[in-house]
Structure 1
Amino acid sequence: MKSDNDINAILTKLYSMRQFHIKLGLERIEKFLEALDNPQKKLKVFHIAGSNGKGSTASFIASILMAAGFKTGLYSSPHFVRFNERIQINSNLIEDEFIAEFYNKYEKYIIENEITFFEVTTAMAFDYFARKDIDYAVIETGLGGRLDATNLVVPLASVITSISLEHTHILGETIEKIAREKGGIIKQGRPVFIGDVDHAAAEVFGAIAEEKKSSIFFLNNFAEKGKDFVNLSLKNQRFHIYKTPLIGYHQLINCALALKTLNETLNINDGLVIDSGIEKVIENTNIQGRYEIISEYPKVIFDAAHNPEGIDTFLREFKNEADGYEKRSVIFAAMKDKEISGMIKKLGAIFDTIYVTSVGLERSASVEELINEAERAGINAIPLYEPAKTIKEFIMNKKNECLAVLGSIYLLGKLKSEINQFT
């Protein structure tokens, strides 16, 4: 059995692979999986891509599968606090021992072939799920779709949640180009389920589905969106969704997309099973950082809104309670490749005080860069170098105020880990 020091050393080696950066392409992962005897071919997979909502949708799918009695693997990224969160079966995280044994066994191959961090993690997940003989695997893409390391699966169904302009230097500078990359997960003859996308993206997906002879299901064709509910048309019934443990109207949409996928693919239609899967989504999947309430009074909200669409979604929900606070503050961080000034401008219209901090990764914008972007947007932002200390002091003041912490899951996880030490 490995000690904590051993697993920490292994994880340090894994994280060091980030020096290889993002290298889209399937050649390396394909050869690596062949060396593992192609574990992905032994899995029944639901494959999820999208600019926003893919983590929540994947969690709803996994939770409903678990409620139906299936042994379910869930692969997601990034993690919040522990690497192990990325790979889990029926809410149990992958064991340190498996991580260490896998890495030690293939370390020579990994180094010699410059396998990236995400490729190693993906191969590890596939191998773990295959060895554990799960019933179904719910696999979330990392970036894009067509050239994503997860895209060597032949899924039971593909799901694309949303499309927005993100990672444009990698995926393309138009909605159509990004949609084509995400649409790369649509496989020959396998159904695809599409969430809330605009007409341009829908046309791209429709064309790919036609070429692949895949049945395509658009959200707008099977879901009636009310002000605070979604009515869903399933095979032989209607289903009314008005609340989930994940806060926000957008989560009703994610839940509807997940449910339609399972109903069409596996004929899951038992109301008690569905209700249980929805109600236990957090417990079953350990999902965090989706309008997550860290403190009720004073109110502290953590949300992984990291691009303009995510900010819009967060603000649409937050406006429902914003007027109830004497003061509204936000701590914001972002990656360099995001449309930062536009996001800060949106936040400035709602929040009284805007703090900016850094995620601390190579791809993240520095505090100084964020200050400059705020100035471009005509917003006065305050630099923050010790955000955990600020959050702690805010909670201790016990005033009728609100503090939102928005940005990368990496930031939220780091801060959550730090504030857990004093809450």
Structure 2
Amino acid sequence: MDIKQSLDKLFSLHNFGIKLGLDNIRAFLEHISNPEKSLKTFHIAGSNGKGSTSAFIASILFEAGYKVGLYTSPHFVRFNERIIINGKYIEDEFVAGFINRHNDYIDKHGLTFFEVTTAMAFEYFKENKVDFAVIETGLGGRLDATNVLNPLACIITSISLEHTNILGDKISQIAFEKSGIIKPHCKVFIGKLSDDAEAVIEKKCNEVKAKLFRLEDYLIEKNDIVELYTEEIELQDWEIPLKGKYQRYNAALAVLTVTKTLDIDKPSVVYDGIKNVIQNTLIQGRYEYIRKQPFILLDSAHNPDGLKVFLNEFRNEKNKYSKTLLLFSALKDKDIDSMIKQLVNIFDEYYLTEINYERAEKLDDLKKRFDKFNIKTETITDKGKFISNFLIGDKNNCLVVTGSMFLLGEIKSILEEF
């Protein structure tokens, strides 16, 4: 199979859905000689911020002179975005070769897309002899396919209600699932969590004798200023290319993790790692202006907490535009109503569309949800035509695209044609 046939095969595995549990991935990894056992890893879980925090950790390690693998999900346009070493995507040849070598095993054992992709990342990092691998969980943590690692550090960025049909409908239940990545005697780093969530994490750490580091214990906040002080480094006047105060928390959590795990204490390494995170990790979709005049702003907010922090930032600049428009869609397993409630009276015009994905909320159902909040909307079935019309409109208008990373990927693909 060539790369197109290999990716078609890989994407067809979505038909197997989500399988929670580690038996399949463990058996497959044993079949390919357990590449994960040779990796020194940082394992990151969280409802929001895990992608950005993963990128900051990888970028700091890169600036420290290490060869660093980074595994994240989902991708926006190309599958290769999921697996990166020092700012370079995995090669098509490796992807195709992996699928070809293991095609019979994949079929025989009914592996899922995420199980195969995770194993591929581990093998790629092993073959390329990375010094460290930064691994982001998919869904949850405890039963996530990535949870076969014995990491140097476990990081939990945030905890909010998400995937409630799978992870539970209480913060404590979701915290329990996220805490499943914590391994005996490892170092554990947590962002700003609720008391309920933190209690669950602390209990888990005590049970397995893991050392817990709370970001809040090292922060000083003054209005919009966030400063980090550890024994190794002081983070004061720092330049961060990802917009939003919440990204300062993500960056600070990454700095705390790296300095406490590897004793990296050179300010220039830390500062450059934060400043160069986009070019070092190719991170996308975080308050990203992908077009200007007219403006198209993409943000990967995909749950109520993520949307809240995005809107807090966007309110500060929305008045500089002639008109603000929203293009929104979401996956059906999200708390969509809580997201919509926050969108009332924010935008001048609201447009709804449907993501081309099996877990997407149907367009008619999405419109009914907005109707309940008395938000006037228009439905969009031809996203390409919609984007084309927007681009020839008022140059001072701003289109915000949010609700799902899968929607962002579709819009990015469309914009590649313009």
Q: Tell whether the structures are fold-level matches, with TM greater than 0.5.
A: yes
What does 1:280-295 correspond to in 2, within 5 Å? 280-295=276-291
Q: Does residue 210 of structure 2 align to residue 208 of structure 1? A: no
The answer as to whether partners of 1:229 and 1:243 remain within 8 angstroms in 2 is no
2:266 match = 270
Identity score, percent? 50
Q: 2:383 aligns with which of 378, 381, 387?
A: 387
The answer as to whether partners of 1:241 and 1:256 remain within 8 angstroms in 2 is no
Q: Does residue 124 of structure 2 align to residue 128 of structure 1? A: yes
Summarize deviations over 1:132-181 as a string: whole Å, max 9, x none: 11100000000000000000000000000000100001101100000000
1:75 match = 71
Distance in 1 separating the partners of 2:300 and 2:151: 27
1:24 match = 20
Query: TM-score with structure 1 length normalisation?
Result: 0.97
Summarize deviations over 1:227-261 as a string: whole Å, max 9, x none: 22211112244211554111111100000000000
Q: Does residue 314 of structure 2 align to residue 343 of structure 1? A: no
Distance in 2 separating the partners of 1:236 and 1:125: 32
The answer as to whether partners of 2:73 and 2:82 remain within 8 angstroms in 1 is yes
Q: C-alpha displacement at 1:354, in angstroms?
A: 1.0
1:307 match = 303
1:317 match = 313
Distance in 2 separating the partners of 1:70 and 1:369: 48
The answer as to whether partners of 2:238 and 2:271 remain within 8 angstroms in 1 is no
2:363 match = 367
Summarize deviations over 1:312-343 as a string: whole Å, max 9, x none: 01101101101222211100000001121221
The answer as to whether partners of 2:44 and 2:155 remain within 8 angstroms in 1 is yes
Distance in 2 separating the partners of 1:104 and 1:298: 44
1:352 match = 348
Secondary structure, counterpart of 1:397 in structure 2: coil
2:7 match = 11
Q: Which runs of 5+ in 1 are unaligned?
A: none
Summarize deviations over 1:253-282 as a string: whole Å, max 9, x none: 000000000000001121111111111101
The answer as to whether partners of 2:331 and 2:404 remain within 8 angstroms in 1 is yes
1:396 match = 392
Q: Does residue 190 of structure 2 align to residue 175 of structure 1? A: no
Q: Does residue 138 of structure 2 align to residue 142 of structure 1? A: yes
The AA in structure 1 aligned to 2:223 is K
The AA in structure 2 aligned to 1:173 is D
Per the alignment, do residues 15 and 26 of structure 1 end up closer, same or farther by CA in structure 2, a change over 3 Å counting? Answer: same
Distance in 1 separating the partners of 2:150 and 2:206: 17
Q: Which moved more, 1:192-201 or 1:391-400?
A: 391-400
Distance in 1 separating the partners of 2:257 and 2:286: 22
Q: C-alpha displacement at 1:197, in angstroms?
A: 1.0
Q: C-alpha displacement at 1:63, in angstroms?
A: 0.5
Distance in 1 separating the partners of 2:97 and 2:43: 27
Q: Which runs of 5+ in 2 are unaligned?
A: none
Q: C-alpha displacement at 1:401, in angstroms?
A: 1.9
Distance in 1 separating the partners of 2:376 and 2:238: 38
The answer as to whether partners of 1:193 and 1:257 remain within 8 angstroms in 2 is yes
Q: C-alpha displacement at 1:85, in angstroms?
A: 0.7
Q: Does residue 329 of structure 2 align to residue 333 of structure 1? A: yes
1:49 match = 45
Q: C-alpha displacement at 1:39, in angstroms?
A: 0.5
Q: Does residue 158 of structure 2 align to residue 165 of structure 1? A: no
Distance in 2 separating the partners of 1:167 and 1:71: 34
2:244 match = 248
Per the alignment, do residues 196 and 320 of structure 1 end up closer, same or farther by CA in structure 2, a change over 3 Å counting? Answer: same
Distance in 2 separating the partners of 1:399 and 1:219: 42
Secondary structure, counterpart of 1:52 in structure 2: coil
Q: Which moved more, 1:53-62 or 1:392-401?
A: 392-401
Distance in 2 separating the partners of 1:237 and 1:342: 39
Q: Does residue 114 of structure 2 align to residue 118 of structure 1? A: yes
Query: TM-score with structure 2 length normalisation?
Result: 0.98
Aligned length: 418
Secondary structure, counterpart of 1:37 in structure 2: coil
Q: Which moved more, 1:291-300 or 1:20-29?
A: 291-300
Secondary structure, counterpart of 1:328 in structure 2: strand
Secondary structure, counterpart of 2:401 in structure 1: strand
Q: Which moved more, 1:77-86 or 1:320-329?
A: 320-329
1:62 match = 58
Q: C-alpha displacement at 1:408, in angstroms?
A: 1.7
1:103 match = 99
Q: After TM superposition, which residue ranges in structure 1, 4 or more long, deviate above 3 angstroms?
A: none
Q: CA RMSD in A?
A: 1.2
The answer as to whether partners of 1:342 and 1:377 remain within 8 angstroms in 2 is no
